[in-house]
Amino acid sequence: ARAAHVIISGKVVADDGAAPPQPVAIQRVCNGQTSTIAYTDASGSFQFDLNRDEQPSSLALPLASEGASASQKLGPDCELRFELDGFASRAMPLAGITTGSSVTNVGAVIVHRLAQPSESTVSASAMAVPEKAKKEFEKGKQAESKGKWAAAKEKFENALKRYPKFALAWLELGRLQAKQKEVTAARESFQNALTADSKLIDPYAELTNLAIQQRQWKEVTDITDRMLQLNASSSPQVWFYNAAGNFNLQRIDQAEKSLMRGMRLDPQHRFPQMEYLLGLIFARRQDYPGAVTHIAAYLQLSPNGPDSAVARQQLAEFQKLSGLSGIPGTR
């Protein structure tokens, strides 16, 4: 059956009343999974279908194999985030938004400019993009939001013909290619985005996801190391991926260090899989009571998460090994 429509519109406005200087990335965060679903246009306006527009290639969790249902996407643990370098991140809960053919207008979303924008993340090339290239890019995003992949690809390519250093166009072209399983072409597009603007974070995130899908853990750690050099405090999720890469390379101590950094940045437990990975690290060291504690915490935070079934099996095994049983909240 076709997924129900979840159409959301609105407008992002800077705290001084002006339109944002660059397209604002709109992300869905649900049970620790983050995905970029849309960008604003030049005026700051946006409209997208949450079920149609989701970009599964955007930092999907390594062990997640199935997308969320419409009800899960609108649950109490789900929110939209509006991200723009130089501005404080803005979150909006999705609970209460209904499915159907009508459009839910969330009104104005005000983002607040940081006092000292990070020089390591502000895009240096966005202001140089010619107006005609910007228009082609916006047409591409409109086509993409309607599921017209071929038309979107053509518009992004047109934008790049007009301005080959258009980093966001390379990024979106790469996302389309990744969606269509054109891994080599997608990787090249993401690299081109970084060549055009080495301080843009999203291409690193996409390259990380490609490496995770192909289980190229050395590449995962290399890319996330570069992301963390650009901005060590930007995202607990990047620390998590760095930890996951190191864990799979048997670098247990480094994995734990990265995980601790990420968990300190995530006091609200938006990324519960960090508890799960910490439990696996304890198990690797044969500290089974510690493993039980953290895997149980993961299941309490995310009982229906993408790894919950496997985690429950592992929890039962570690309970036997540690002589513990009946941990509350794990059934």
Q: Are 95 and 78 in contact (CB under 8 A)?
A: yes
Tell me: the pLDDT tens digits for 91-131? 888 876 766 656 788 888 988 877 544 433 445 456 678 88
pTM over 0.85? The answer is no
pLDDT score at 271: 85
Rounded Cα distance, 8 and 94, in Å: 10
Rounded Cα distance, 290 and 56, in Å: 33
Task: Enumerate the H helices of the chain as residue ranges.
Answer: 50-53, 70-73, 131-145, 149-162, 167-179, 183-196, 202-213, 217-230, 236-248, 252-264, 273-284, 288-301, 308-322
pLDDT score at 77: 65
List, by residue range, all CATH 2.60.40.10 domains of the chain. Answer: 1-121
Q: Give the number of other CB atoms < 10 A from CB of residue 237.
A: 24
User: 123-214: which CATH number, 1.10.10.10, 1.25.40.10, 3.40.640.10, 3.90.1150.10?
Assistant: 1.25.40.10
Residue 236 has pLDDT above 60, yes or no: yes
Angle (deg, nearest 10), helices 149-162 and 131-145: 170
* Per-residue confidence band for 39, with pLDDT thresholds at 50, 70 and 90: confident
Q: Please tell me which of 36-40, 104-108, 131-135 the model is most confident about, judged by mean pLDDT.
A: 131-135
Q: Give the number of other CB atoms < 10 A from CB of residue 43.
A: 12
Q: Are 114 and 107 in contact (CB under 8 A)?
A: no
- Half-sphere CA count of 156, side-chain side, radius 13 A: 24
* Mean pLDDT on 132-160: 89
Q: Please report the DSSP string for 175-193 in residue order.
A: HHHHHTT-HHHHHHHHHHH
Beta bridge partners of 104: 8
Tell me: the pLDDT tens digits for 202-230? 888 889 889 988 889 999 999 999 888 87
Q: Return the CATH superfamily for domain 1-121.
A: Immunoglobulins (2.60.40.10)
Comparison of pLDDT for 211 and 21, the residue scoring more: 211
Comparison of pLDDT for 87 and 297, the residue scoring more: 297
List, by residue range, all CATH 1.25.40.10 domains of the chain. Answer: 123-214
Q: Please tell me which of 69-78, 86-95, 268-277 the model is most confident about, judged by mean pLDDT.
A: 268-277
Tell me: the pLDDT tens digits for 152-197? 999 999 999 999 999 989 999 999 999 888 999 999 999 999 999 8
